[in-house]
Amino acid sequence: MTKYIYFILSFALICTLTETAQAGNPDRQGEAGAFELLMMPWARSAGLHSMNTSSVSGVDALRLNIAGAARINKTQVNLGHAKYLQGSGIDMNSFGLSQRVGENGAIAFSVMSLDFGDIPVTTTNQPEGTGATFSPSFINIGVGYSHVFENKVSVGVLFRGVSEGVADLRASTFAVDAGVQYVTGEDDNFKLGISLRNVGGTLRFQGEGIVRSVEIPTGGATYNLAIEERTAEFELQSQLNIGASYDFRFTDVHRVTILGNFTSNAFSQDQFGAGVEYSLRDIFVLRGAYRYEVGSSNINEAPLYSGLAGGFSLQLPLNKEAKDEGLFGTQVSIDYGYRASKILGGTHNIGLRFDL
């Protein structure tokens, strides 16, 4: 009975936070910033277009549904790298750790940064470049906790620090994620997940980069006064995810999982989609998905990604431990994910994962 009480309380909390997020208002499209909060740095979830809200586990859960972070054996370490929109010169680098604490809890940590390369410095007088370069710093760090009740209901909360800037200009704030997962069925093959992401403060750029010198006349003379211009505040990319999945198991060799997901975005159109994942002996996993954005009637309003995503995983066991409550023993995994885009060459994700 206790686990159902926690499930109801968690669901009520997410619904309350949803009111604060003001989700599902396309009229506000383009008004928010920190778009990197919606980028997926992990290859497994990228191959399913970030629609595995109900089944995501371990480190991947920190970017989608923190409730799944505790669904690991003991320790999970993820390393991720992505070519964001092949040809744009933007890379995503990420590191994550999820560690069991006590019988049913887990503490998780992740850091993600964007690498824009070296950008030439240009000025009004030197539009072709001054010979100097700069590189923006976009980084976010998340710390969360997840707890599983009798292996059926898991809840979690995450706090994330967000920072953007260049050498003389910076903006930073904090955001909160919350989520819940419910597992049922004879073989725990039906899963339901709800998560609310990126609910927090606003960002405003400040620093010497917006300070300018103004000449102030005083009678027959003038003097210079440094004035800091005021910049506009912008909110974070809040979103609500609701997903479900079902596992079809054919002996111990084959598993086919189908999933569906709905995403309500606070500052863009809503999205829904479906995906499928095939596992062969829990060693080779193949996945694919399609996501559709509501209301994108023409090319100018169409989302960045065309809707198609796919990927695979190669999971190599390091010992012969038997499965423990549906989890694997020590293993290393190589993951790949790809999302097609309407411009440039799509996003390629590759990851290395250790389950200990």
Prediction pTM value = 0.85
pLDDT at residue 175 greater than cutoff 90: yes
* Residue 173: per-residue pLDDT: 93
Provide mean pLDDT across the span 69-74.
Answer: 92
pLDDT at residue 247 greater than cutoff 50: yes
Short-list 137, 133, 155, CA closest to 146:
155
- Of the two residues 162 and 216, the one the predictor is more confident about is 162
Domains of the chain: 2-355 (2.40.160.40)
Provide mean pLDDT across the span 111-137.
Answer: 89
* Residue 227: per-residue pLDDT: 78
* Residue 20: per-residue pLDDT: 45
* Residue 15: per-residue pLDDT: 53
- Give the separation between CA 236 and CA 178, rounded to whole angstroms: 15
Q: Which two tokens stand for residue 50?
A: 């970030």
pLDDT at residue 48 greater than cutoff 90: yes
Q: Which of 114-118, 150-154, 189-193 has the lowest mean pLDDT?
A: 150-154
Short-list 209, 275, 279, 216, CA closest to 45:
275
Average pLDDT, the chain: 86
pLDDT at residue 324 greater than cutoff 70: no
* Residue 39: per-residue pLDDT: 93
Confidence at 26, pLDDT banded by 50, 70, 90: low
Q: Which two tokens stand for residue 156?
A: 């979690």
* Residue 153: per-residue pLDDT: 93
* Residue 329: per-residue pLDDT: 66
* Residue 151: per-residue pLDDT: 78
Could you tell me if 340 and 74 are in contact, meaning their C-beta atoms sit under 8 angstroms apart?
Answer: no
Amino acid at 234: F
